Amino acid sequence: MQAKLSFSTDRKQGLYDITREVERVVSESKVKEGIVNVFVQGSTGAIMVQENWDESVQNDVISLLSKLVPSGVWEHDQHDGNGDAHLKAGIVGPQETIPIIDGKLGLGRWQNIFLCEFDGPRTDRKVVVTIVKN
Protein backbone atom coordinates (compact mmCIF):
# COMPACT_ATOMS: atom_id res chain seq x y z
CA MET A 1 0.00 0.00 0.00
CA GLN A 2 1.14 3.51 -0.71
CA ALA A 3 -0.23 6.96 0.12
CA LYS A 4 0.95 10.42 -0.81
CA LEU A 5 0.52 13.11 1.84
CA SER A 6 0.80 16.86 1.32
CA PHE A 7 1.99 19.37 3.91
CA SER A 8 2.34 23.13 4.08
CA THR A 9 5.30 24.64 5.91
CA ASP A 10 5.30 28.16 7.31
CA ARG A 11 9.00 28.80 7.98
CA LYS A 12 12.26 28.76 6.03
CA GLN A 13 13.52 25.98 8.32
CA GLY A 14 11.65 23.83 10.78
CA LEU A 15 10.62 20.38 11.91
CA TYR A 16 6.96 19.43 11.49
CA ASP A 17 5.50 16.47 13.38
CA ILE A 18 3.74 14.22 10.85
CA THR A 19 3.36 11.17 13.11
CA ARG A 20 -0.46 11.29 13.30
CA GLU A 21 -0.81 11.39 9.52
CA VAL A 22 1.50 8.39 9.13
CA GLU A 23 -0.36 6.56 11.93
CA ARG A 24 -3.61 7.13 10.03
CA VAL A 25 -2.16 5.55 6.86
CA VAL A 26 -0.85 2.56 8.84
CA SER A 27 -4.23 2.11 10.54
CA GLU A 28 -6.12 2.27 7.23
CA SER A 29 -3.78 -0.34 5.72
CA LYS A 30 -4.86 -2.96 8.30
CA VAL A 31 -1.29 -4.31 8.24
CA LYS A 32 -0.45 -5.92 11.60
CA GLU A 33 3.26 -6.64 11.01
CA GLY A 34 5.60 -5.07 8.50
CA ILE A 35 7.39 -1.82 7.83
CA VAL A 36 6.42 1.67 6.83
CA ASN A 37 8.77 3.84 4.82
CA VAL A 38 8.28 7.61 4.98
CA PHE A 39 9.97 9.48 2.10
CA VAL A 40 9.92 13.20 1.26
CA GLN A 41 9.91 14.17 -2.40
CA GLY A 42 12.22 17.10 -2.95
CA SER A 43 15.91 17.72 -2.44
CA THR A 44 15.56 20.39 0.25
CA GLY A 45 13.37 18.44 2.68
CA ALA A 46 14.15 15.47 4.91
CA ILE A 47 12.53 12.97 7.27
CA MET A 48 13.78 12.43 10.82
CA VAL A 49 12.70 10.34 13.80
CA GLN A 50 13.29 12.48 16.87
CA GLU A 51 11.99 13.35 20.33
CA ASN A 52 8.77 15.36 20.56
CA TRP A 53 8.51 15.97 24.31
CA ASP A 54 9.00 19.69 23.74
CA GLU A 55 10.25 21.94 20.96
CA SER A 56 13.77 22.31 22.40
CA VAL A 57 15.16 19.25 20.59
CA GLN A 58 13.58 20.35 17.31
CA ASN A 59 15.01 23.85 17.74
CA ASP A 60 18.39 22.35 18.62
CA VAL A 61 18.38 20.28 15.41
CA ILE A 62 17.84 23.43 13.34
CA SER A 63 20.47 25.35 15.34
CA LEU A 64 23.04 22.58 14.95
CA LEU A 65 22.50 22.23 11.21
CA SER A 66 22.63 26.01 10.76
CA LYS A 67 26.00 26.10 12.55
CA LEU A 68 27.36 23.14 10.59
CA VAL A 69 25.98 24.34 7.24
CA PRO A 70 25.71 28.15 7.12
CA SER A 71 23.75 29.84 4.36
CA GLY A 72 25.16 31.99 1.58
CA VAL A 73 28.59 30.39 1.17
CA TRP A 74 27.96 27.50 -1.26
CA GLU A 75 28.57 27.25 -4.99
CA HIS A 76 24.91 26.33 -5.56
CA ASP A 77 23.84 29.65 -3.99
CA GLN A 78 24.78 31.31 -7.29
CA HIS A 79 21.85 29.49 -8.92
CA ASP A 80 18.98 29.90 -6.46
CA GLY A 81 20.35 30.79 -3.03
CA ASN A 82 19.50 27.53 -1.27
CA GLY A 83 22.76 25.61 -1.23
CA ASP A 84 22.55 25.12 2.53
CA ALA A 85 19.06 23.59 2.23
CA HIS A 86 20.32 20.92 -0.17
CA LEU A 87 23.26 20.07 2.09
CA LYS A 88 21.14 19.90 5.27
CA ALA A 89 18.62 17.65 3.54
CA GLY A 90 21.44 15.40 2.35
CA ILE A 91 22.87 15.11 5.86
CA VAL A 92 19.53 14.19 7.45
CA GLY A 93 18.27 12.10 4.53
CA PRO A 94 14.98 11.80 2.66
CA GLN A 95 13.49 8.81 4.47
CA GLU A 96 12.97 6.75 7.59
CA THR A 97 11.72 3.17 7.91
CA ILE A 98 9.73 2.23 11.01
CA PRO A 99 8.45 -1.22 12.02
CA ILE A 100 4.74 -1.90 12.24
CA ILE A 101 4.00 -3.92 15.38
CA ASP A 102 0.47 -5.11 16.15
CA GLY A 103 -0.92 -2.65 13.60
CA LYS A 104 0.83 0.38 15.12
CA LEU A 105 4.02 2.32 14.52
CA GLY A 106 6.89 0.71 16.41
CA LEU A 107 8.22 4.01 17.69
CA GLY A 108 9.71 4.41 21.16
CA ARG A 109 7.89 6.41 23.85
CA TRP A 110 9.53 9.73 22.96
CA GLN A 111 9.96 9.19 19.20
CA ASN A 112 7.92 10.94 16.54
CA ILE A 113 8.29 11.36 12.79
CA PHE A 114 9.24 14.80 11.52
CA LEU A 115 9.19 16.41 8.12
CA CYS A 116 12.27 18.65 8.05
CA GLU A 117 11.88 21.79 5.98
CA PHE A 118 15.08 23.54 4.93
CA ASP A 119 13.80 25.71 2.05
CA GLY A 120 10.37 26.98 3.04
CA PRO A 121 7.80 28.09 3.32
CA ARG A 122 6.13 25.57 0.99
CA THR A 123 2.47 25.07 0.20
CA ASP A 124 2.75 21.52 -1.13
CA ARG A 125 5.54 19.40 0.36
CA LYS A 126 4.88 15.79 -0.71
CA VAL A 127 5.60 12.81 1.54
CA VAL A 128 5.17 9.25 0.26
CA VAL A 129 4.22 6.61 2.83
CA THR A 130 4.84 3.03 1.68
CA ILE A 131 3.70 0.05 3.73
CA VAL A 132 5.17 -3.42 3.24
CA LYS A 133 3.44 -6.34 4.93
CA ASN A 134 5.49 -9.19 6.43
pTM: 0.96
- Domains of the chain from N-terminus onward: 2-133 (2.60.120.460)
Cα gap 24→30, rounded to integer Å? 10
pLDDT in tens, the chain (134 residues): 999 999 999 999 999 999 999 999 999 999 999 999 999 999 999 999 999 888 999 999 999 999 999 999 999 989 999 999 999 999 999 999 999 999 999 999 999 999 999 999 999 999 999 999 99
C-alpha distances in Å from residue 8, one per residue of 12, 22, 105, 107, 123: 12, 16, 23, 24, 4
Q: How many CB atoms lie within 10 A of CB 19?
A: 17
